[in-house]
Amino acid sequence: MPLSASAIAKLQNEIVDVAFLWLVTISHADLPTPLRMVRDYVPLTSRGNVFTPYPHMDIGFPSDTEDQPPRQTIVLEDVAQIFTPALRALATTTPPILLIELVMEGEPNTVQDSWTAEIREAQGDGISIEAELRTDEILGVGAPAIAYTPSLFPGMFR
């Protein structure tokens, strides 16, 4: 998803005077409503949804290594115990789905980038939760099995 024209213009300025904010929406069948949080100190309304301020959230970008699929982590430091009890109560048979979005502070209704991920593995203590996220499983996608034989592809064997 390309950045909007206003985001590109802001980033090309000598001094960037706008903040880019992470919005995270956690959905699961066991949750009555999705959990919505913004990495900021004040609540944010985006497209009619109110995101709870959650300044102690770290989202890592997917890794880029040759020998393994991309890995991404999210760390939620929940000292006030706002989201941790709800996350711990979820059934483990189906993983929660995270929608991660990037918006500009002055334009919260314009999503600059977004992707979805599943929580693959989570661990934590009384204060924080660290979860490994699974994005698109490229290695799990089936590939067509075609045998390239002279009878099917005679042009390859001349």
Whole-prediction pTM: 0.74
60 vs 27: CA distance, rounded Å: 20
Mean pLDDT of 131-150: 66
- In the structure, what pLDDT confidence band is assigned to residue 36 with cuts at 50, 70 and 90? very high
pLDDT in tens, 79-128: 667 677 777 767 667 888 889 999 998 899 999 988 888 887 777 777 78
Burial tier of 128 (Cβ tally within 10 Å: 0-12, 13-18, 19+): middle
pLDDT of residue 123: 79
Which domains occur in the chain, in start order? Answer: 5-157 (2.30.110)
